[in-house]
A and B are shown apart, each in its own frame.
Chain A
């Protein structure tokens, strides 16, 4: 935990408040507006709206926290946003129709899923060059990377697989069949598990990273809600592997899961068609993008409560939190 945050927390506890005023900034891509909304983490107010490329979706922070990478899907590029300057400073090649991508733990390279041509494109973020393209299944989207950077996982929406790719050889070393229409893949921080959401199957498939076998399929049920509305997309697991959060699309809820027992603990009502989520640096907050209500929800992780919704642009898709 950062020293600054600890001091702030102590100060607040002394005054009787428990919520730490976060110094972070939240960046949200608005798929239909071609903009990024900037939200101040302390006030939870929108501070500005930045025009970006067409159909911005995936957004991710560089390892040095100085830049944001944004997939401008319809422009077929990755835009590079300088946080200090608060402006787009350049582009990276991406292959056609980039949607999601992931940065190697070392900060380079960038692995990008090209939905339209069944490829993963590998790009060097320093030189701006395409390193290679890896053929995968139909409609690649989800991207996960092992904490040691050695295994990249890409999920193909129509092929219904999680492809395990060796990042040295760029070869696929394994393919794991998952439930229909996998959208998102996330390794746990200890590298032991890979969590994959299945949008049409309505489940989360937990895969053991060593054996590459599905060890658990987590299902969901919300009273009064049609099973078809439960469409898991984004998933995030806390670093200590105690809690996992799953954005359930048109179910308008985030499922809270005990990541040790795989039991669903709670469903938190957020906005409409919740898809992606991001923790802040100390995992005290989880921000969700609600595509159809044009807002983001702020979840207090300790209390497991949704504390606020902030209106952003049209069809918010991705979210990244800069400290």
Chain B
């Protein structure tokens, strides 16, 4: 589900930062090492969720980070390490870079960045941010893993290419090789569509036709609104040469849900609605995920989302490093996370690691229907020399990221 941004809460940035704890890693009298982590996000005005069946959230991502801190501290009881979360919630349109600089000034080196791509790059490019570790837990843009990669950024949220490849593998396993691609007019719609085109090429699917659907997100159908859609969608999908599946890229959740059951030809809808590739879903209960789901729901009072999961993984990665090395300084933690020994358990049946060529966390992709888990990619049979997870997204030989170059 593509979810609109969270509701504006109206905090004052300065007020928040003034009350937060000092950031420098320090020994407390009890011999416990302090590990401060900063969380930064922008509160964007929220549109009503597309469906009344969706759960609205005001703290998407943040709750994942907070539960990560709790879990870290449960372990920390035994390792004598205490984690704290310094939360910078910048109001919509506020100065993210300034808020980030304030956090830097307090000594923070570990950041959970719950931001879209432009804001993420704005903070990563702050000159003083060179020796920091910033986790991207929101932006799926492929460019951030390619030409716009940064030495100080690691990504726990999968990028569009990973999600598109995960979906494509399943479609090819089903032998649904002829796709009718429908793309919305939003920027992110176009980004995901580009990833889908790449996936089609990669896994030998054919896009038999592409059409654009122009719709404004946020306008829910009222009263007898379904009658209009019932006429509109079949006409829109009429006259496409023989295709197996409709692949939709509607990241803003404006119209994609209307396609299923209304296509001119009887076909399944997949992509941003219908069968959706995602990092996390409520229906995921495999590999011990039930425990994670229970713990999160009890903690947050709502279900865990993709962004919560990505934030949780980022916070847990830091703890994995401090626990295994018994060190809490930035240099040791950063080196360990990027090193060969590191792995974080993410309830996906194998340990997850960061790609050394672009900083993306490798992970299986869940393919979910509205109520159940349908499959998990990589699909059986897609082989790879080093890790089957590298059949998803940008592999080493094709990367356009130059991590060793000076910061861009």
A and B together in one complex: yes
Residue B345 is within 8 A (CB to CB) of chain A in the complex: yes
Chain B positions within 8 Å of A260 at CB level: none
Residue B323 is within 8 A (CB to CB) of chain A in the complex: yes
Q: How large is the interface on A (under 10, 10 to 19, 20 to 34, 35 or more residues)?
A: 20 to 34
With A116-B291, A181-B345, A226-B388 known as contacts, the answer to whether A201 contacts B351 (CB < 8 A) is: yes
Binding stretch for chain A, among B14-22, B70-78, B134-142, B394-402:
B70-78
Binding stretch for chain B, among A14-22, A154-162, A240-248, A277-285:
A154-162
Which residues of chain B from 103 to 155 have any CB-CB distance to chain A below 8 Å in the complex? none
Q: Which of A97, A116, A118, A228 contacts B350 (CB 8 A)?
A: A228
With A163-B78, A180-B343, A228-B388 known as contacts, the answer to whether A200 contacts B350 (CB < 8 A) is: yes
Chain A residue with Cβ nearest B298: A116
Chain A positions within 8 Å of B291 at CB level: 97, 115-116, 139, 157-158
Q: What distance in Å separates the Cβ of B179 from its nearest Cβ neighbour in chain A?
A: 29
Distance of A226 Cα from B386 Cα, bound (Å): 10
Chain B positions within 8 Å of A139 at CB level: 288, 291
With A200-B350, A200-B351 known as contacts, the answer to whether A158 contacts B71 (CB < 8 A) is: yes
- Whether the pair A200, B74 counts as a contact (CB closer than 8 A) is no
Distance of A163 Cα from B78 Cα, bound (Å): 9
Q: Mark B341-358, 1 if CB is under 8 A from A, else 0.
A: 001010001110000000
Residue B294 is within 8 A (CB to CB) of chain A in the complex: yes
Residue A234 is within 8 A (CB to CB) of chain B in the complex: no
Residue A322 is within 8 A (CB to CB) of chain B in the complex: no
Distance of A139 Cα from B289 Cα, bound (Å): 11
Chain A positions within 8 Å of B345 at CB level: 157-158, 160, 180-181, 200
**Interface class of chain B by DSSP:** helix
- Whether the pair B349, A228 counts as a contact (CB closer than 8 A) is yes
Which residues of chain A from 145 to 203 have any CB-CB distance to chain B below 8 Å in the complex? 156-161, 163, 172, 175, 177, 180-181, 200-201
Q: What distance in Å separates the Cβ of A230 from its nearest Cβ neighbour in chain B?
A: 10
Distance of A200 Cα from B346 Cα, bound (Å): 10
Q: What distance in Å separates the Cβ of A115 from its nearest Cβ neighbour in chain B?
A: 5
Chain A positions within 8 Å of B351 at CB level: 180-181, 200-201
Residue B338 is within 8 A (CB to CB) of chain A in the complex: no
Residue A95 is within 8 A (CB to CB) of chain B in the complex: no
Residue total for B at the interface (Cβ-Cβ under 8 A): 21
Which residues of chain A from 111 to 147 have any CB-CB distance to chain B below 8 Å in the complex? 115-116, 118, 135, 137-139
**Interface class of chain A by DSSP:** loop
Q: Mark A196-239, 1 if CB is under 8 A from B, else 0.
A: 00001100000000000000000000000010100100000000
Distance of A228 Cα from B345 Cα, bound (Å): 12
- Whether the pair A177, B323 counts as a contact (CB closer than 8 A) is yes
Distance of A138 Cα from B75 Cα, bound (Å): 7
- Whether the pair A200, B324 counts as a contact (CB closer than 8 A) is no
Residue B190 is within 8 A (CB to CB) of chain A in the complex: no
Distance of A135 Cα from B298 Cα, bound (Å): 18
Distance of A180 Cα from B291 Cα, bound (Å): 16
- Whether the pair A116, B71 counts as a contact (CB closer than 8 A) is no
Pick the most buried of A138, A156, A161, A177: most chain B CB atoms within 10 A of its CB: A138
Chain B positions within 8 Å of A159 at CB level: 71, 74-75, 78
Q: What distance in Å separates the Cβ of B303 from its nearest Cβ neighbour in chain A?
A: 16
Distance of A242 Cα from B291 Cα, bound (Å): 36
Which residues of chain A from 225 to 277 have any CB-CB distance to chain B below 8 Å in the complex? 226, 228, 231, 250
Q: What distance in Å separates the Cβ of B292 from its nearest Cβ neighbour in chain A?
A: 8
Chain A positions within 8 Å of B288 at CB level: 139, 157, 181
- Whether the pair A161, B78 counts as a contact (CB closer than 8 A) is yes
Chain A positions within 8 Å of B298 at CB level: 116
Q: What distance in Å separates the Cβ of B201 from its nearest Cβ neighbour in chain A?
A: 26
Q: Which of A138, A200, A228 contacts B71 (CB 8 A)?
A: A138
Distance of A85 Cα from B316 Cα, bound (Å): 49
Q: Which of A115, A137, A226 contacts B74 (CB 8 A)?
A: A137
Distance of A175 Cα from B77 Cα, bound (Å): 10
Distance of A161 Cα from B349 Cα, bound (Å): 19
- Whether the pair A97, B75 counts as a contact (CB closer than 8 A) is no
Chain B positions within 8 Å of A175 at CB level: 78-79
Distance of A157 Cα from B78 Cα, bound (Å): 14
Chain B positions within 8 Å of A97 at CB level: 291, 294
Which residues of chain B from 257 to 313 have any CB-CB distance to chain A below 8 Å in the complex? 288, 291, 294-295, 298
Distance of A181 Cα from B316 Cα, bound (Å): 13
Pick the most buried of A135, A158, A163, A175: most chain B CB atoms within 10 A of its CB: A158
A177-B324, A228-B350 given; 12 more Cβ-contact pairs under 8 Å: A116-B291, A137-B74, A138-B75, A138-B295, A156-B75, A158-B75, A159-B78, A161-B75, A175-B78, A181-B351, A200-B350, A200-B351
Q: Which 4 A-B pairs have the closest CB atoms?
A: A228-B350, A175-B78, A159-B75, A200-B351
List residues of chain B with CB under 8 Å of any chain A CB: 71, 74-75, 77-79, 288, 291, 294-295, 298, 316, 323-324, 343, 345, 349-351, 387-388
- For this complex, 6 residue pairs linking A to B, each with C-beta atoms less than 8 Å apart, are A97-B291, A159-B75, A177-B79, A180-B343, A201-B343, A250-B349
